[in-house]
Amino acid sequence: MYIADCHADTLSRLLILEEDEMSLMRSEPRHHSDFPRMQQADLRLQVFSIFTMPYEAGHYGAVRSLQMMQIYQRDLTQHPELVLVQQKADLADFESSDKALYGIFSMEGASPLCGDLKMLDVFYRQGLRAIGLTWNHRNELADGLGVQSSYGLTPFGREVIQRMNQLGMLVDLAHINEAGFWEAMELSSAPVVVSHANARALCDHRRNMYDPQLDALKAKDGFIGICFETSFLNANPAEASLDDVIRHIDYICERIGPEHIAFGSDYDGIQATPRGLEDVSCFPHVLERLAALGYSESDRRKIAYENVLRVYRAVLPDTSQI
Ligand SMILES: [Zn+2]
């Protein structure tokens, strides 16, 4: 069964290697993920996080982001089995094509836009199709949940969401504070997602979603990507395992249904991995466990990749021309 993963930081790992090592196609055992292991797992869609640290904000962050995107773009020119998804048609034959990997660029924290709406179009033309509005800190759009505030979106944050809706880009609300979450939910005319987080009711971490937030994702026809960060899975992170991933899936499935769950592993962004999910090749273990628990094939397929396809197909533009 194919797998779609909505969040991994592999490109930012590759960016700090030597020039001749900067390719997804090489086996790279120091990382959680690379193309050969994606293939092993039948992982066919990867949303590549374009992540920059708070100290890389603004223009430097823009440069770093473009360099990260270039890594996959360079691989694309040499490997016809790779796809960069930019418009609806790019996903049309996802299940039947002879392609091996569908990549999507998603910026994590929008400070590389430099507070300038024109930069959104610049990044769009480079293939960017999703944005996590904030990371944990405050930026030009909103406050991350690491900021003690009840401020919501800034006027620029509102402009960005409206322009993203026009262009056909997916709004991601992982990391944003609660005020920003609810304002963005209200404002976006298209489905929104939380690409990597878990259930707050099971693990009281600030990055996890409260039940009403899960309900809102369902109402907006989005999804939450189950995250393998150990501190989001278990109050005792050292104990986190595949069992916890299943617990969170069970809970969220019970609450909002299998149509609104996906994976957002955060491989190559997390320091520790849960027992049983040590790297990207372990993904099928989750599906095997769900099958053993009686999840139907149709529900497993939704969680594994169909929900991600549904949402991106709804949001992406008919044509990438602007
Ligand atoms: Zn993150």
pLDDT, one tens digit per residue, over 262-309 is 999 999 999 999 999 999 999 999 999 999 999 999 999 999 999 999
**Which tokens is 69 given?**
């995107």
Which ranges constitute the DSSP H helices of the chain?
10-15, 35-41, 58-78, 117-125, 155-167, 178-187, 211-219, 230-233, 242-256, 283-292, 297-301, 307-315
pLDDT at 152 over 90: yes
The confidence score (pLDDT) of residue 57 equals 84
pLDDT at 219: 98
Measured in angstroms, how far is the CA atom of residue 171 from the centroid of ligand 1? 14
List phi, psi (to 5°) of 270. -90, 150
Q: What CATH number corresponds to the domain at position 230?
A: 3.20.20.140
- Which domain does 183 fall in, by range? 3-315
Question: Residue 107 has what pLDDT?
Answer: 98
Share of the chain above pLDDT 90, in %: 97
The reported pTM is 0.98
> What value does the mean pLDDT take over residues 20-47?
97
Cα(21) to centroid(ligand 1), Å = 24
Q: What are 131's strand-pairing partners?
A: 107, 171
pLDDT value of residue 148 = 87
Is 322 within a domain? Answer: no
Q: Rounded to an integer, what distance in angstroms lies between the CA atom of residue 285 and that of residue 290?
A: 9
Residue 301 belongs to some domain of the structure: yes
Distance from Cα 173 to the centre of ligand 1, integer Å: 10
Q: Once rounded to an integer, what is the mean pLDDT over residues 139-144?
A: 97
Q: How many domains does the chain have?
A: 1
Residue 261 lies in a domain: yes
Q: What is the structure's pLDDT at 162?
A: 98
Residue range 177-206: average pLDDT?
98
How far is ligand 1, taken at its centre, from the CA of residue 187, in Å? 22
- Look at residues 288, 300, 296 and name the one whose alpha carbon lies nearest to residue 261: 300
299 falls within a domain: yes
Measure 51 CA to ligand 1 centroid, in angstroms. 8
Per the CB < 8 A criterion, the answer to whether 190 and 171 are in contact is yes
- Whether 321 maps to a domain, the answer reads no
Q: How far away, in angstroms, is 134 Cα from ligand 1 center?
A: 9
Q: How far is the CA of 193 from the centre of ligand 1 (A)?
A: 13
320 within a domain of the structure (yes/no): no
Q: Give the pLDDT score at 14.
A: 98
Number of Cβ within a 10 Å radius of residue 30: 9
For residue 247, report the distance from its CA to the centre of ligand 1, in Å: 21
